[in-house]
Structure 1
Amino acid sequence: MENELKVALIQADLIWENPKANREQFTEKIKQISGSINLIILPEMFTSGFTMNAEMVAETMQGKTVSWMLDIAEEKNAAIVGSLVIKENKKYYNRLLFVEPSGQITVYNKRHAFTLVGEEKIYTEGAEKVIIDYKGWKICPLICYDLRFPVWARNTEDYDVLIYVANWPKPRISAWDTLLQARAIENMSYCVGVNRVGVDGVNSEYTGHSAVYDVLGNKISAFAENEQGFKIVTLEKRHVEAYRNKFKFLNDRDSFSID
């Protein structure tokens, strides 16, 4: 178990429906990260932007982007996480991949489809919450619209880090800020949100606001409005343990299950 987890958040303007160009731009950004890190976090649908044209950008689990993620993880000796459009068994998924340096891949399919734009008509919704054990840290990865549904993120597994990858637009960015902080507080975990910037192919505007909150809801890292680039933040296991042991809020959770 490692007492520290060094995480790199990458905030970028995604190139609309162009996986090759997006892989190239993220390769350049990742090359700029020097020193040892443990985890690299990219936005939701980082190869395309939040598109409903799934057939134009979909890849398989044997495709170029998965291969690229495996290469990056090995080269940087760090896990890399982000979501992209995956086609499997004639279905499309908004699928998060957590790729470790060992080559192990954990997948999470977005649970809550964004019905405002008809995501549920294109993408098959996921049914399983995923908890990843990485370097002794328990990590819960979720995607964008999942942020609005606290029951799904509810910390019954005693995870240490909650991650949201997103394409969260400017008109509702205050909700993004507020809910990231709330998820950290109520789950007594670090909460990391990585969003995009720029304007996409359907004229939705994004201003970023990628950030990290500690278990008390304090913002410990953030980007400037519309900033592109990366930030590195070190998460500390003793921070999680100290405040959970001091306050014991999670011991008072209501008991119920999700169907």
Structure 2
Amino acid sequence: MRIAAVQLVSGMDVAENLARAERWIAEAAAQGAQFIGLPEYFCLMGQQDDDKLAIAEDFAAQPDALAQPLQHRLQAAARRHGVWLHGGTLPLKAAGGKVSNSSLVYAPDGALAARYDKVHLFAFDNGRERYDEGRVQAAGDTPSAFDLAGWRVALSVCYDLRFPELYRQLGPSLICAPAAFTHTTGQAHWQLLLRARAVENLSYLMAPAQGGMHANGRRTWGHTTIVDPWGEVLAELPEGEGLALATLDPERLRQVRSQLPALQHRRF
């Protein structure tokens, strides 16, 4: 199966961000991708976290073009190109006036295939940079995976990569981890975490990322990456907009899991 991870440098104009995402979805489809992933918050990198509240939508399995424009555009793109589309993340309305950081996956006919609300909320303070997603976001509480043409696809978002127990219970053959890693933490830990999650689960991993200097002054690490079950990097895009493409090989997955049957040796 041919997959494509889209890297963006999203800004503060939602309409422009949507148009850029759609352009890269079309390009990925033209290059033969059957499953395409967008990065975390592809639709908005605002001046402050509260900006997410203004564009948050009610969840709808059958979104309306006026009431749920973000969801509707994702669904329409999947249907138009006949691809599986992982819509990175977008803000959906949650309890207490907050939003969930939600991943939605659409099948080639536009049907909703899966939803995942980010469970682990990022917090960081090194004296120069400070982030606290919990101030605006509500944490999800349910792991999520779905089946795609024989592949067990586990959903996660960004900071989730630091919590390996999330993936173990899902038994993935492909992990999706859209992200907007800060430049500071990405430089230190991004590839280490990606390769570790792939190796310990003997699974492919696709990580579409935000990558560059944003209009709000924030710099994200980028390095959109696809990793194979042995931890080999199959594709990587350091910075700027573009695509990372690779082909998932079921025989490679079977070979690695046969040679190193670590998943069969689990005791806990």
Query: Could you tell me the TM-score, scaled by structure 1's length?
Result: 0.90
SS at match of 2:156: strand
Task: Supply the distance in 1 between the matched residues of 2:27 and 2:170 (Cα, whole angstroms).
Answer: 35
Letter in 2 for 1:103: G
Corresponding residue for residue 127 of structure 2 = none
User: Which segments of 5 or more consecutive residues in structure 1 lack a partner in the other structure?
Assistant: none
Question: Sequence identity, in percent?
Answer: 24
User: Which segments of 5 or more consecutive residues in structure 2 lack a partner in the other structure?
Assistant: 125-130
Indicate yes or no: 2:179 matched with 1:166: yes
Letter in 2 for 1:71: A
Task: Supply the distance in 1 between the matched residues of 2:162 and 2:215 (Cα, whole angstroms).
Answer: 24
Task: Supply the distance in 2 between the matched residues of 1:102 and 1:73 (Cα, whole angstroms).
Answer: 7
Task: Supply the distance in 2 between the matched residues of 1:118 and 1:211 (Cα, whole angstroms).
Answer: 25
Letter in 2 for 1:86: L
SS at match of 1:32: helix
Q: What aligned pairs does 1:87-106 form with structure 2 within 5 A after superposition? A: 87-88=93-94, 90-105=97-112, 106=114
Corresponding residue for residue 85 of structure 1 = 91
SS at match of 1:165: coil
Q: What aligned pairs does 1:103-252 form with structure 2 within 5 A after superposition? A: 103-105=110-112, 106-116=114-124, 117-154=131-168, 156-173=169-186, 174-200=188-214, 202-223=216-237, 225-252=238-265
**For the structure 1 residues 200 and 227, does the alpha-carbon distance in structure 2 shift closer, same or farther, using more than 3 Å as the test?**
closer
Task: Supply the distance in 1 between the matched residues of 2:137 and 2:243 (Cα, whole angstroms).
Answer: 29
The offset of 1:30, in angstroms, is 2.3
Letter in 2 for 1:182: A
Task: Supply the distance in 2 between the matched residues of 1:227 and 1:128 (Cα, whole angstroms).
Answer: 33
Write out per-residue CA displacement over residues 20-66 of structure 1, whole angstroms, 9 at most, x where no aligned residue.
11111112222333143211110001101275112222123331111
Task: Supply the distance in 1 between the matched residues of 2:206 and 2:266 (Cα, whole angstroms).
Answer: 22
The offset of 1:91, in angstroms, is 4.2
The offset of 1:15, in angstroms, is 1.4
Q: Which one of 70, 74, 77 corresponds to residue 79 of structure 2?
A: 74
User: Superposition RMSD on alpha carbons, in Å?
Assistant: 1.7
Task: Supply the distance in 2 between the matched residues of 1:147 and 1:200 (Cα, whole angstroms).
Answer: 23
Letter in 2 for 1:19: V
The offset of 1:101, in angstroms, is 1.5
4+ aligned runs moved over 3 Å, structure 1:
88-91
Letter in 1 for 2:82: N
Write out per-residue CA displacement over residues 85-141 of structure 1, whole angstroms, 9 at most, x where no aligned residue.
111455411001111123322110000011332211211111111111112211001
Does the CA-based 8 Å contact 1:49-1:167 persist in structure 2?
no
**For the structure 1 residues 169 and 103, does the alpha-carbon distance in structure 2 shift closer, same or farther, using more than 3 Å as the test?**
same
**For the structure 1 residues 83 and 172, does the alpha-carbon distance in structure 2 shift closer, same or farther, using more than 3 Å as the test?**
same
SS at match of 2:22: helix
**For the structure 1 residues 186 and 11, does the alpha-carbon distance in structure 2 shift closer, same or farther, using more than 3 Å as the test?**
same
Task: Supply the distance in 1 between the matched residues of 2:196 and 2:94 (Cα, whole angstroms).
Answer: 34
Indicate yes or no: 2:18 matched with 1:23: yes
Corresponding residue pairs, total: 248
Q: Which moved more, 1:40-49 or 1:87-96?
A: 87-96
Query: Could you tell me the TM-score, scaled by structure 2's length?
Result: 0.87
Task: Supply the distance in 1 between the matched residues of 2:241 and 2:170 (Cα, whole angstroms).
Answer: 34
